[in-house]
């Protein structure tokens, strides 16, 4: 394999494994069949709308992105179907969101040029100008109804909306769509908190909203990403290497793409078509080096101290703690991982202060906290920080893969330390 062939293969790999952007093509999309089916069912039921929620980084935007590709393939001859996806910003108002939507919508009409033998040309006109500061939910419903056809409108990053009255107006819009059986499906994408606020505004819309949770990806789904990607470039991977990537990814597809990309490119450099465990270990080093600077800084701020403390070990134990579907864990979930990391039993009073400190600005506010005193639950503010903390723990020697396996396999500290 000469250098040009290596470069071509590396380029193909970078097009297949893309950790920096959502997946937008259906052939590169892996897993999430259940969620995709729920969205399709919702679209086919007039008066129903959907909200896709889950932690950041679990692939919600990728699901929303591939919907366009899916429907274009399914209805390529149907001009009556319009699919629009827009992103929310922190300063968005109700009207600015719908201005974005109608900017993507357009009407096409025929115009005859001047003269007896004038040719007919098609003119496309954006509908953005139809939305102004006085536009209300009923106006949105009326405009879409007059346009005709079926509309699928995805509003992504809905949780970024800051103003409560915007959420209230979106709830009013959903109710109007449902009450009039409008042939339009609204799909909101965000985190769980945004759903709670939305439903609170109009309890009556709950029956019209299909709530679609997006948990972290299963091992089978992550495996599908790896295998499908390597198959596209006629490469393979050792079983142990594949399992290591899955373990390091912590259910987040970003890291599956990242490790798979670097490991497979290392294999190409060595003129092999099969990715080995050594390639994954090399990919781990590269991933630590090339992880976003903002994540590196957060990790450093959370764990640095002028004197020796437990902050690095406690943060690592939190990254290895068992969580619920939304990524929350309790202090009791940290006890076993920390005891294994430290080589002796630790109880909650020894690290409870550290958990609270991780919620403070001085430690980078790396955690968010919910609940009541003595029953608090914690979650990484940025889910991508969790796998990175484990990567740092491995590269710095705070923990070994064998110990991580024991944590995940439920070996308690008493058995581990006996």
What string of DSSP letters covers 360-394? Answer: SGGGTT-EEEES-TTS-EEEESSTTHHHHHHHHHH
Count CA atoms closer than 13 A to 252's CA, side-chain side.
21
Q: Are 315 and 396 in contact (CB under 8 A)?
A: no
Max intra-chain CA distance, the chain = 97
Nearest C-alpha neighbor of 320 from the set 393, 222, 417, 213: 393
Domains 3-17+217-290 and 293-417 share a fold: no
pLDDT (0 to 100) of residue 70: 73
pLDDT (0 to 100) of residue 141: 95
Whether domain 3-17+217-290 has CATH 1.10.8: yes
Q: Within 10 A of 235 (CB to CB), how many other CB atoms are there?
A: 20
Q: Are 66 and 24 in contact (CB under 8 A)?
A: yes
Q: Are 390 and 320 in contact (CB under 8 A)?
A: yes
Give the domain ranges of the chain.
3-17+217-290, 32-213, 293-417
Tokens at residue 70, please? 């899916």
CA 175 to chain centre: 27
pLDDT (0 to 100) of residue 110: 53
Nearest C-alpha neighbor of 396 from the set 322, 323, 299, 301: 299
Supply the CATH classification number for the domain 32-213: 3.40.50.300
CA-to-CA distance for 168 and 202, rounded, in angstroms? 8
Give me the CATH topology for the region 293-417.
Answer: Arc Repressor Mutant, subunit A (1.10.10)
Sequential pLDDT tens for the chain (418 residues):
778 888 999 999 998 898 876 666 665 567 788 888 898 899 888 899 999 988 888 888 888 777 777 776 665 555 567 888 999 999 999 999 999 999 988 765 555 555 555 566 555 567 888 899 999 999 999 999 988 888 999 999 998 888 888 988 999 999 999 999 999 999 999 876 666 667 776 777 888 889 888 888 889 989 999 998 999 889 999 999 999 999 999 888 889 999 999 999 999 999 999 999 999 999 999 988 888 888 999 999 999 987 768 999 999 999 999 998 778 999 999 999 999 999 999 999 999 999 999 999 999 999 999 999 889 999 999 989 999 999 999 999 999 988 998 888 764 434 433 3
pLDDT (0 to 100) of residue 411: 47
Count CA atoms closer than 13 A to 28's CA, side-chain side.
22
What phi-psi label fits residue 202: left (phi over 0), alpha (psi between -120 and 50 degrees) or beta? beta
CA-to-CA distance for 43 and 126, rounded, in angstroms? 24
CA-to-CA distance for 270 and 263, rounded, in angstroms? 11
Statement: the pTM of the whole predicted model exceeds 0.85:
no
């Amino acid at each position: 394999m000469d250098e040009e062939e290596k470069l071509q293969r590396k380029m193909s790999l970078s097009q297949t494994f893309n950790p920096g952007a959502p997946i937008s093509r259906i052939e590169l999309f892996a897993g999430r069949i259940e969620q995709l089916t729920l969205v399709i069912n919702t679209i086919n039921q007039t008066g129903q709308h959907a909200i896709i929620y889950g932690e950041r980084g679990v692939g919600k935007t990728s699901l929303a992105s591939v919907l366009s590709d899916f429907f274009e393939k399914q209805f390529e001859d149907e001009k009556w179907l319009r699919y629009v996806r827009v992103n929310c910003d922190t300063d968005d108002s109700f009207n600015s969101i719908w201005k974005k939507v109608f900017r993507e919508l357009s009407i096409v009409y025929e115009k005859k040029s001047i003269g007896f033998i004038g040719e007919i040309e098609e003119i496309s006109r954006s509908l953005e100008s139809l939305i102004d500061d006085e536009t209300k939910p009923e106006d949105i419903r009326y405009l879409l109804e007059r346009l005709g056809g079926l509309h699928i409108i995805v509003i992504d990053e809905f949780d970024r909306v800051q103003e409560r009255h915007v959420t209230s107006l979106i709830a009013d819009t959903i109710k109007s769509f449902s009450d009039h059986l409008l042939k339009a499906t609204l799909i909101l994408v965000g985190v769980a908190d945004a759903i709670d606020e939305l439903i609170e505004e109009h309890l009556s819309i709950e029956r019209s909203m299909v709530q679609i949770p997006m948990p972290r990806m299963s091992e089978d789904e992550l495996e599908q990403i790896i295998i499908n990607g390597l198959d596209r470039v006629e490469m393979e991977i050792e079983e142990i290497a594949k399992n290591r990537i899955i373990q390091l990814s912590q259910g987040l597809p970003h890291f599956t793409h990242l490790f798979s990309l670097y490991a497979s490119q290392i294999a190409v450099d060595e003129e092999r078509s099969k990715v080995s465990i050594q390639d994954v270990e090399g990919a781990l080093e590269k991933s630590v080096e090339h992880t976003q600077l903002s994540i590196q800084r957060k990790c450093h701020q959370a764990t640095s101290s002028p004197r020796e403390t437990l902050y690095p070990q406690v943060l690592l134990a939190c990254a290895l703690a068992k969580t619920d579907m939304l990524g929350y864990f309790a202090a009791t979930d940290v006890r076993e991982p920390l005891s294994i990391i430290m080589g002796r039993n630790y109880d909650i009073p020894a690290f409870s202060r550290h958990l609270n400190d991780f919620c403070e600005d001085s430690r980078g506010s790396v955690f968010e906290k919910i609940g009541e005193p003595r029953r608090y639950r914690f979650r990484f503010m940025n889910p991508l920080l969790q796998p990175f903390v484990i990567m740092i723990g491995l590269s710095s020697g705070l923990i070994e893969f064998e110990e991580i396996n024991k944590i995940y396999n439920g070996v308690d500290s008493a058995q581990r330390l006996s």
